[in-house]
Amino acid sequence: MWRELGTCNICDNPIKYQLSDDSGPHVYHLREQIICEKCGATSRDRIVMWSLSNCMQMEDTLFNIRENKNIRILESHGYRGYPKILDTKFDYFNTIFSTDPQLKSKKPRNYADFQDLHYDDNYFDFILASDVFEHVRLAERGFSEMYRVLKNAGYFIMTIPFDYSREKTKLRLSIGKEESDDKFIEPPEYHGGQTLVYRNFGRDIFETLCS
C-alpha cells in the first residue's frame, strides 16, 4: 500500500489518498482505488464529479460549489460520500432500481427503473449513471429514456466497464420477450457478488449512444 498527499475534488480536504494492492504486487485497480480517507471517494467517483463540475463550468471542488436547487439531477445508486453533498447543493434524485409502481409513486425521488422512467420529458439537467448500464437488461431502451427525460441542454454522464479493444459489445445473456425467457450464453458474471452483468461493452457503444 502507498499513500500520497492531495486534495479531494469532492470533499475539498487536503488529505492522504491510499492505494491498496488486492491482486498481486504489481497490479492495482486504479479505477476503484486511490481512496479518499475522509469521504471514501474512489477515482471513479472523482472523475464523475469532476465531469459534473466541468459541465456546470465550475472550477471549484464539489464541496465549495454554491447551492442551486434549480438544478435537477437524477442518479442511479449513488453511494459513498458525494450523494450527501449533491443533496445539499442541488435538487437531487438518488434512486434505487425498482419496477414496483407503488414504490415509484410513493417515493419518486428514491426509486426508478431506468428502462421505464416515471418522470416527465425534459425534466432533468443532469443524469449520472456510474457503472449502471452493464446491469440494465434493456440498455438501449434505457438510453432512450435518459434522453427523453433530459433537458435539451442537459448532460448525461456515464461510466461503464469498457474494453476499447473489443469492437462489438458482448451480450452475456440472450434477451427474451420476458425476463423469464432470458438465457445465459456466457458464464454468469456478477458485480459486488449479486448484481448481474448483462453485457461487456465494446467500441460500438459510441454508435449506440449517437443513434
Angstrom distance (rounded) from CA 20 to CA 27: 10
pLDDT, average across residues 113-139:
97
Angstrom distance (rounded) from CA 44 to CA 200: 18
Integer angstrom CA distances of residue 144 from 82, 147, 185, 204:
27, 5, 26, 16
Q: Which 3 state secondary structure label does DSSP give 41? A: coil
Q: Which 3 state secondary structure label does DSSP give 109? A: coil
Q: Higher-confidence residue: 81 or 155?
A: 155
pLDDT of 133 > 60? The answer is yes
pLDDT of 23 > 60? The answer is no
Condensed to tens digits (0 to 9), the pLDDT of residues 49-105 reads: 999 999 999 888 999 999 999 999 999 999 888 999 999 999 999 999 999 999 999
Angstrom distance (rounded) from CA 43 to CA 45: 5
Q: Higher-confidence residue: 31 or 129?
A: 129
Q: Which 3 state secondary structure label does DSSP give 135? A: helix
142 neighbors 97 (Cβ within 8 angstroms): no
Q: Which of 12-21, 37-46, 82-91, 99-108 has the lowest mean pLDDT?
A: 12-21
85 neighbors 11 (Cβ within 8 angstroms): yes
**What is the reported pLDDT for 26?**
43
pLDDT of 28 > 70? The answer is no
To the nearest whole number, what is the mean pLDDT of the chain? 90
**What is the reported pLDDT for 4?**
64
Cβ within 8 Å of residue 58, ≥6 positions away: 65
pLDDT of 17 > 80? The answer is no
pLDDT, average across residues 40-56:
93
**What is the reported pLDDT for 27?**
43
6 neighbors 17 (Cβ within 8 angstroms): yes
Q: What's the DSSP call for residue 201? A: B
Percent above pLDDT 70 for the chain:
92
What's the pTM? 0.89
Q: What's the DSSP call for residue 173? A: E
Q: Higher-confidence residue: 33 or 166?
A: 166
Q: What is the C-alpha radius of gyration for the chain, rounded to an integer number of angstroms? A: 18
